[in-house]
A = this chain, B = another copy of it.
């Protein structure tokens, strides 16, 4: 189907044209067919597990020869358990509620016209990801369930695994009578194909990068197609003067230390000057193995606190390190967050309802929290089922994005012959 001698632009344009055709077919497909397609795809992943794991072994061997790091090899590796998890993930997407066809609102005009806004698929979605081959199945399942065609571009180190997983997904959706072009894998490892996807305005409706910061940064920098992503999770937890000391200690330690490598981890702490238990909270963090980089006031509470540089207030550590400052009150906390936050997730700990509500209103981030750990910033924890990603952009979808974020709406107008006067 794909002529690999053509330019990356021609290749992507041809794939996108087939994807658009498939998307038109999908728009008229029933939800039952999509569910069936995903169930059959999950079955095909299980049936083909030997072949998929064999393909993965080939990728692993190549990667080891090329000297890839242990962390990278671990991300690349598939075994029976992980593959079963991937198949179960596809089935979980089949069990989510159907986002399509929902009537968002309805108006009857004085002239009798009946207007509805109805959820419909977005169209053609490009997924650009790195070494985890399970994304081939996860992302494709989410796109398909929302009625979209997906163009998948995984990391070159995972190409054999991705091909094997893609073949299983295509087998499943094909067996349900859905167009196999609804899930296409870019067949080349040529990096220029990524650039062609990013410039495919009008051919691809949305790009979702899944991977590390350098991938997301490149995509956000180069893309002309709209991108749904976040670059940083520069999240702040602010301990208000009214915070319950015990709650503050538990929340701060959890928000920073539960898992330091996730985007919802807290990276900066702000302590109200009038909060009486700052020293307790800082010591609890230090005792939990967290390095604390503080301003003068925070350094004064414990000799283990080192000096924070200007850079620290803008650094997403993704590690057992936190920056911490004292603020004079709510206004200074809000101003600090406005200046340094990446607008992902910011939290206040307070018993004073008025202060908390003012924080929730004034902080302009995708997620704002009161008396909760920033580590909850996750589609699964939000009850959305699988998420395609978290967006810090302000348009279309914000925060955790699941099926609904992969849809748009159209206006349906039903009349009885009305002409406009």
Q: How far is the CB of A218 from chain B (nearest CB, A)?
A: 15
Contact B28 A415 (CB under 8 A): no
Task: Encode A360-374 as 1/0 by CB contact (under 8 A) with B.
Answer: 111011111111110
Contact B395 A205 (CB under 8 A): yes
Q: Which residues of B contact A399 (CB under 8 A)?
A: 410-411
Contact A420 B366 (CB under 8 A): no
Q: Which residues of B contact A376 (CB under 8 A)?
A: 113, 413, 415, 418, 420
Q: How far is the CB of A368 from chain B (nearest CB, A)?
A: 6
Contact B107 A415 (CB under 8 A): no
Interface size class of A (residues with CB under 8 A): 35 or more
Nearest residue, chain B, Cβ from A121: B364
Contact B28 A372 (CB under 8 A): no
Kindly state whether residue A226 has any CB partner on chain B within 8 Å: yes
Q: How far is the CB of A286 from chain B (nearest CB, A)?
A: 18
Q: Which residues of B contact A408 (CB under 8 A)?
A: 394-395, 398
Complex: how many Å from CA A366 to CA B118?
Answer: 10
Contact B381 A420 (CB under 8 A): yes
Contact B414 A370 (CB under 8 A): yes
Q: How far is the CB of A65 from chain B (nearest CB, A)?
A: 39
Kindly state whether residue A115 has any CB partner on chain B within 8 Å: yes
Q: How far is the CB of A102 from chain B (nearest CB, A)?
A: 12
Contact A419 B254 (CB under 8 A): yes
Kindly state whether residue A123 has any CB partner on chain B within 8 Å: yes
Complex: how many Å from CA A284 to CA B369?
Answer: 63
Which one, B356, B367, B372, B419, contacts A418 given CB within 8 A?
B372
Given A247-B417, A383-B109, the answer on whether A27 and B364 have CB atoms closer than 8 Å is: yes
Task: Encode A379-412 as 1/0 by CB contact (under 8 A) with B.
Answer: 0011100000000001110111000000011111
Complex: how many Å from CA A261 to CA B383?
Answer: 48
Nearest residue, chain B, Cβ from A367: B411
Q: Which residues of B contact A338 (CB under 8 A)?
A: 24
Complex: how many Å from CA A98 to CA B205?
Answer: 31
Complex: how many Å from CA A28 to CA B224?
Answer: 33
Q: Which residues of B contact A16 (CB under 8 A)?
A: none
Contact B226 A411 (CB under 8 A): no
Contact A417 B250 (CB under 8 A): yes
Kindly state whether residue A304 has any CB partner on chain B within 8 Å: no
Which one, B120, B254, B411, contacts A420 given CB within 8 A?
B254
Q: Which residues of B contact A11 (CB under 8 A)?
A: none
Q: How far is the CB of A167 from chain B (nearest CB, A)?
A: 29
Q: Which residues of B contact A113 (CB under 8 A)?
A: 372, 376, 381
Nearest residue, chain B, Cβ from A252: B419
Kindly state whether residue A69 has any CB partner on chain B within 8 Å: no
Nearest residue, chain B, Cβ from A363: B410
Kindly state whether residue A83 has any CB partner on chain B within 8 Å: no
Kindly state whether residue A251 has any CB partner on chain B within 8 Å: yes
Task: Encode A219-261 as 1/0 by CB contact (under 8 A) with B.
Answer: 0000010100000000000000000100100110011001000
Kindly state whether residue A416 has any CB partner on chain B within 8 Å: yes
Kindly state whether residue A150 has any CB partner on chain B within 8 Å: no
Q: Which residues of B contact A414 (CB under 8 A)?
A: 356, 360, 369-372
Q: Which 4 residue pairs across A and B have the least CB separation, nearest first?
A: A372-B415, A254-B419, A375-B420, A247-B417
